[in-house]
Amino acid sequence: MRLTLLALLLLAGSAAAQTAVDLPPAETRGDLLIRGATVLTVTNGTHENTDILVRDGKIEALGQGLSAPGGVRVVDGTGFHVMPGIIDAHSHIALSNVNEAQNTITSEVQMGDVTDPTDVGIYRALAGGVTTIHTLHGSANAVGGESETLKLRYGTFDPNALHFEGAPRTLKFALGENPTRVHGRGRDIRPRSRMGVEQLYREAFSEARRYRDAQNEAEENGTLAPPYSRRMETLADILDGEVLIHCHSYRADEIVMLMNVLRDFGVDRITFQHVNEGFKVAPELADFGAGASVFSDWWAYKFEVYYSTAYNVAILLRNGVRASINSDSGELIRHLYHEAAKSQRYGDLTDDEALSLITINPAWQLGIDDQVGSIEEGKDADLAIFDGHPLSVYARPVMTIVDGVVRFDEARDGDDMRLDVDPEEAIEDVRLYDHDEESCLVDAFVL
Amino acid sequence: MFLLRRLVALSLFLLIAPVVQSQGITADTPLRPVTRTFAITNARVVQSPGRVLDRATVVIRGGLIAEVGENVSPPSDADIIEGDSLTVYAGFIDAFSHVGVTEPEGEDDEVDDPGNPTNDRAGIVPQRDVRTMLNPSDSAIKDLRNLGFAVAHIAPNGAMLPGQGVAILLRNAQRFENTQGIVLTGPLSIYAQFERSPGVYPSTTMGIMAKMRDLFIEAGRRRQAVRQYFDDPDGRSRPAYDPVLEPLTRALDGDLPLYFRVEDTNEAFRALNITDELGLPLVLVGLPWSTPITDRLSGRDITAIAPLALPDTVATDTTAMAIPVPTPIAGATITIHQRRARSYRDLDNERAALSAQRAAAVGRYESNAATLAAAEIPFSFSTYEAKPGDIRANLRRMIAAGLNSDDALAALTTSPAELLDLPMLGTVEEGKMANLVVTDGDYFADETKVRYVFVEGIRHEAEEDKEIEGADPDAVVDATGTWSYTVSTPGGEQEGTFTITGSGSSLSGTIETDETIEVNNVTLEGNLLTFSFSQSGMGIINVSGVIEGNSFSGTASVGSMGSFSMTATRPG
């Protein structure tokens, strides 16, 4: 025992911390062999004592007795569980702005413009096994901005390098108290009520349709098209089916309202976010083909979120709704596997069902399920390694791999993984900031 | 009766008129000189970076450099400056600043519909010309000139698109000269920044970027429509003139580059992304640390303008951070369980590590210019947000961090002349504008003093930094004790106490603001007490002042916010 302790101390002295700038460049696509692990594919069962061979950032082979070409790093996975990298369908980390709250419709703004690749929150998410996030506009506006799907290639300063290649365009809508509070009660303009929110959508879609018609007409006649408006362009692109809607929502009545609006305008792809009352309208959601991205057991932080249940996600799944669990928080994102486990505990889900909530289902909702979300040959080598079953409360993420590159390694986890250090920051003033503020409303009340 | 009033009014106006016209003339405004011919004889002349004449004469006549050379004899009408111990450089060019520009006045109005403000209210005014906002009595003109700057490219203050920039001469308006007399040429630029106008749309960086897309795409579309109309109006309606889109069209055409000011690497990438997307000519202003973006910049026709402002240095024990990191060995099997010591159990070590990180960040900013030079990215310097008193020291810090002094000189002279396309500036050569810096040695050496600065042939004597009034290095005073202080700021008086303890050269202390903060670098030279402390949200605050008996009088200088008068007393 004494010897072990001594050995540990010696190790502590020699092997230690890396820093963020040591991480490989974002464009790196890694090669790796994970040997002898328990592999949770999510879509194709669990395989004991299995190897995963990663070449050039992709999963090349899955099986037993695989060998790595010379020079390829080998990770001994004996006793460890490997699951697909966790996907968070609702995040506000890695952003310099969240709400452009000075207008009720801001479909022209793009979260991809304000990606902050230096946010240490990215590294914290990696440390929780997360490899892909969907960064959304806040919920101050009925129509927020375009979202951005990011791979957590922490270690780069180039925001473009985090962009998830091939991810479809998505956009934030918001129903209920937030838009009516910020604009209605806050500024005494529409929407003051849930009815007003509906009316905004109907007007905005109608205007966008007229805009696109006028454009087409001008092109045919060779006349001057209406003044360029990215706001209208994006709304028209939604009508053309090029942009997927992700809608902040709580109450069943307004969820049904929005599905009715979308039917009227011929839009058929939507994922509802939060959806605390989704269990009341699960068959309607399934009938529409809508996705639902929920919290496992987070509610009662305002009036419209009182009527909630921890069985929500199980009820949605059992009714055939493609459901996921999201964080909406820089703190929850670090342990989404706990959130999935809680849903399993409440709703009696299978392991694969529970894991699908944070892998293949959010991938489907983001339109990237052909690239990530499960461990399959040909898919991106985005993997999370745990020292136990990830749905066990005792399991810890020990290594997170993005495109075959180890971006988090608990053994080399540095004390200070900030990428960008403010040369004028007061040392005495360093503190952990509060993750629990309602991040959906960041900037919403700034004048 | 009415007529009489009007006559009185008119005569009053006539009396006032010359005063109004000479607004901006201060005590240091030079009279028109008796002769405009000067000869600096036998001086070391740095004609351009790396091109030096060891013993030459420079003749200045009519605002131009008439002759430069080793065998030039001074003309008979010249005012002779014996240059035997002097060095002559080309006058410096500030590639970007707000020197000599009026501050915006008043509060922004509240608007009924903040989502749809007018362009003016939203800070979208690219048609504004900085020449309508000149303030030739701005004391910063003299402060910069004293450092050797003769020309500045200036832009209006404002929000996202504040207007167009011009080059000005850094001299005060002369008697009977219109304020516009200091303008050299323009417009040279359209100024852009990620700066919101309070209380209206766009209120975020992403909103500003979205708005820029709309504006520039629409400007491009309009340009096309206008061309078509003027080529063949038949069957077309004329696109209405639009004062905001018109200058943006000039940027799209490449006639006016967009001078995009950024504050950090995130903003630099954003400025690059949006200008690449819209096909706009870019000058990247203010990038404080360029390493992460050199790959993206190099080999392109993009000039960077590096700030002459630097963060304060950090005193730190750098040894604490020296924790070796094992490199993963290719092909080797690694075990996942390898633990390490936890720093949170050792707060001193943690603090030292954080200080070391901060010091390293300061070092990265110091080596910014050297990084640009090494990557062969053309760059010039900007005095934006640099305190004039720090600029020479900052240049020395950059040189200590690896910047070649010829590159430093180029960034002050030839590079901005090229960037601004002003070939009459930047070198000491025959026929160029007589903008010269005359020093008593190597400009980048600590002890060198600037003696004269010529701006278009007009000689200005450089003024020494003012000594702190009452400072006496030979006085013997005791600084220890608890002092009650008052700092006068524009926002009102701030009060509190500070306590100095120790003796001799080992003084320390604390200051009470909202909290008790330890002060650093406490020194007492004669009766001059100085110390600094860092306060969250304000950065480092430097205090210096003179002790006389039980009273202290001096200044507290707060980063870029400026210096505020500070007095203190202690119980007798």
pLDDT at A9 over 80: no
Helix (H, G, I), strand (E, B) or coil at A271: strand
Amino acid at B18: P
Taking only the tens place, the pLDDT of each residue in A90-102 is: 999 999 999 999 9
Separation between Cα atoms, residue A427 and residue B351, nearest integer Å: 7
**Quick one: pLDDT at residue B467?**
56
Contact B205 A114 (CB under 8 A): yes
pLDDT at B210 over 60: yes
- State both tokens at B56: 């030459």
Separation between Cα atoms, residue A434 and residue A447, nearest integer Å: 22
Taking only the tens place, the pLDDT of each residue in B83-129 is: 999 999 999 999 999 999 998 776 677 888 899 999 999 999 999 99
Confidence of residue B345 (pLDDT cuts 50, 70, 90): low
Taking only the tens place, the pLDDT of each residue in B495-518 is: 889 999 888 778 889 998 777 888
Nearest of B91, B146, B178, B93 to residue B457 by alpha carbon: B91
Q: Answer yes or no: CATH 3.40.50.450 is held by domain B95-105+113-191+281-312+363-425.
A: no
Taking only the tens place, the pLDDT of each residue in B464-475 is: 655 566 777 788
Taking only the tens place, the pLDDT of each residue in A109-124 is: 999 999 999 999 999 9
Q: What does the mean pLDDT of chain A come to?
A: 91
- Cβ-Cβ contacts under 8 Å for A249 (sequence gap 6 or more): A174, A175, A176, A255, A258, A272, A273, A274, A275
Q: What is the arithmetic mean of pLDDT over B145-167? A: 97
Q: What percent of chain B has pLDDT over 70?
A: 84
Contact A418 B296 (CB under 8 A): no
**Quick one: pLDDT at residue B288?**
94
Minimum Cα–Cα distance from B328: chain A residue:
A73
Which is more confident, A282 or B35? A282
Separation between Cα atoms, residue A412 and residue A19, nearest integer Å: 9
B570 and B482 Cβ atoms separated by less than 8 Å: yes
Nearest of A344, A287, A265, A336 to residue A85 by alpha carbon: A336
Separation between Cα atoms, residue A337 and residue B429, nearest integer Å: 71
Which segment of A212-226, B79-93, B165-179 scores lowest on mean pLDDT?
Answer: B165-179
Contact A72 B350 (CB under 8 A): no
Q: Could you tell me whether strands A81-84 and A397-402 are parallel, antiparallel, or unpaired per DSSP bridges?
A: unpaired
In our burial notation (b when 16+ CB lie closer than 10 A, e otherwise), range A200-235 reads bbeebbebbbebbeebeeeeeeeebeeebbbbbbbb
Separation between Cα atoms, residue A231 and residue B406, nearest integer Å: 50
Taking only the tens place, the pLDDT of each residue in A101-155 is: 999 999 999 999 999 999 999 999 999 999 999 999 999 999 999 999 999 999 9
Q: What is the arithmetic mean of pLDDT over B317-330? A: 42
Mean pLDDT: which of A185-199, B174-188, B551-565 is highest?
A185-199
Amino acid at B395: L
**Quick one: pLDDT at residue B30?**
53
**Quick one: pLDDT at residue B32?**
58
- Cβ-Cβ contacts under 8 Å for A140 (sequence gap 6 or more): A99, A101, A174, A178, A179, A182, A183, A440, A441, A443, A444
- Cβ-Cβ contacts under 8 Å for A323 (sequence gap 6 or more): A278, A291, A292, A293, A294, A313, A316, A317, A357, A361
Which segment of A241-255, A276-290, A300-314, B8-22 scores lowest on mean pLDDT?
Answer: B8-22
Of B323, B330, B351, the CB nearest to A16: B323
ipTM of the complex: 0.93
Contact B311 A423 (CB under 8 A): yes
**Quick one: pLDDT at residue B348?**
67
Q: What percent of chain A has pLDDT over 90?
A: 82
Sign of CA dihedral A349, A353, A357, A361: negative
CA dihedral in degrees (B41, B43, B48, B52; nearest 10)? 120
Of A227, A411, A420, the CB nearest to B265: A420
Contact B539 A424 (CB under 8 A): yes
pLDDT at B344 over 90: no
**Quick one: pLDDT at residue B357?**
78
Packing angle of the helix pair A194-221, A230-239 (nearest 10 deg)? 100
The DSSP symbol for A394 reads T
Confidence of residue A433 (pLDDT cuts 50, 70, 90): low
How many interchain CB pairs under 8 A, A with B? 220
Confidence of residue B315 (pLDDT cuts 50, 70, 90): low
Amino acid at A418: R
Contact A418 B357 (CB under 8 A): yes
Q: What is the arithmetic mean of pLDDT over A343-361? A: 97
Contact A109 B210 (CB under 8 A): yes
Fold of the domain built from segment(s) B31-90+426-465: Urease, subunit C; domain 1 (2.30.40)
Taking only the tens place, the pLDDT of each residue in B254-276 is: 999 999 999 999 999 999 999 99
Residue found under tokens 């402002």 = B309
Find chain B residues with C-beta within 8 A of A156's C-beta: 292
- How far is CA B407 from each of CA A203, A431, B368, B370, B402, rounded to the nearest angstrom? 59, 41, 12, 8, 10
Around B483, how many Cα atoms within 13 Å sit in the side-chain half-sphere?
26
Nearest of B44, B217, B195, B206 to residue B108 by alpha carbon: B195
Q: What is the arithmetic mean of pLDDT over B384-412? A: 96
Find chain A residues with C-beta within 8 A of B210's C-beta: 100, 106, 108-110, 113, 145, 230-231
pLDDT at A186 over 70: yes
pLDDT at B335 over 50: no
CATH number, domain B481-569 = 2.40.128.120
Find chain B residues with C-beta within 8 A of A414's C-beta: 325
List where CATH 3.20.20.140 sits in chain A: 86-372
Confidence of residue A7 (pLDDT cuts 50, 70, 90): very low
Separation between Cα atoms, residue A269 and residue A57, nearest integer Å: 30
Edge-to-edge strand order for the sheet containing A270-274?
A143-146, A169-174, A243-249, A270-274, A291-294, A322-325
Taking only the tens place, the pLDDT of each residue in A71-95 is: 899 999 999 999 999 999 999 999 9
Q: Is A286 exposed, middle or buried (0-12, 13-18, 19+ CB in 10 A)?
A: middle
DSSP B72-101: PPPPTT-EEEE-TT-EEEEPEEEEEE-TTB
- State both tokens at A92: 């506000």
**Quick one: pLDDT at residue B449?**
95
Helix (H, G, I), strand (E, B) or coil at B461: strand
Minimum Cα–Cα distance from B314: chain A residue:
A423
Mean pLDDT: which of A220-229, A370-379, B512-521 is highest?
A370-379
Sign of CA dihedral B174, B179, B182, B184: negative
CATH number, domain A86-372 = 3.20.20.140
**Quick one: pLDDT at residue B491?**
73
- Number of DSSP helices (H) and strands (E) in chain B, helices first: 12, 25
Of A187, A411, A427, the CB nearest to B355: A427
**Quick one: pLDDT at residue B29?**
52
Domain range summary for chain B, segments of one domain joined by +:
31-90+426-465, 95-105+113-191+281-312+363-425, 481-569
Amino acid at B71: N
**Quick one: pLDDT at residue A446?**
54
pLDDT at A421 over 80: yes
Amino acid at B313: T
**Quick one: pLDDT at residue A2?**
37
Summarize chain A as % helix, strand, coil (round to 5).
35, 20, 45
- Shortest Cα distance, chain B CAs vs residue A413, angstroms: 9
Which is more confident, B525 or B380? B380
pLDDT at B17 over 50: no
Which of A113, A189, A386 to probe the B interface (max B CBs under 10 A)?
A: A113
- The highest-level CATH class for domain A16-83+375-414 is mainly beta
Residue found under tokens 């943006």 = B248
**Quick one: pLDDT at residue B565?**
86
